[in-house]
Amino acid sequence: MFLENIKHSTGRKGWIEVVCGSMFSGKTEELIRRLKRAQFAKQKVEIFKPQIDTRYHEEKVVSHQGNEIHSTPVPASSNILLLANDVDVVGIDEAQFFDMELVNVCNQLADSGVRVIVAGLDMDFKGKPFGPMPSLLAVAEYVTKVHAICMHCGSLAHISHRTSKETSLVLLGETDSYEPLCRDCYNAANK
């Protein structure tokens, strides 16, 4: 079922969709696809990302494949409520980097009739739940978990294994710092 085609018989109803998975699994690609479909349907769409994410572009959400969509970088999730006026759809990328207030922000938007689409890492590089993502997964009406391919064995990967020695929780990086691994390869790499 395509969520974009759901029709409600009694007025405008909002909901929360979460796209989660490891790095290189296609989360942002799926977010962009859903947002562009909404734009094509002439819905008013606003996209947000954390201000700290400047890897590909300061004001665009960009997938690893190079697809992009204009966004508004914000320093905190509360800014989203201030900027999401008179919209049908709100997209949020890299949700794991936002504060825990993001869950309340998404609920308020959905309660006011907005379709909220959130993409983010569900686990950090240690395999632990990441930021507000576990709570968002709990309150979302729709959850899509996407997988990368394990760089060691070719199985489905679900963990973003950090290849650098950096130990801080947040480390913006690409293939120079991370590789997707399956459970077995991740456990072997961490022995």
Please give the positions annotated as active site: 94
Report the relative pairing of strands 148-149 and 45-50 from DSSP bridges. unpaired
- Contact residues for 128 (Cβ-Cβ < 8 A; gap 6+): none
What CA–CA distance (Å, rounded) separates 172 from 182? 21
Per-residue DSSP letter, 124: -
Residue 54, token pair as written in the block: 């400047």
Give the pair of three-digit tokens for residue 79: 């800014």
What CA–CA distance (Å, rounded) separates 24 from 94? Answer: 13
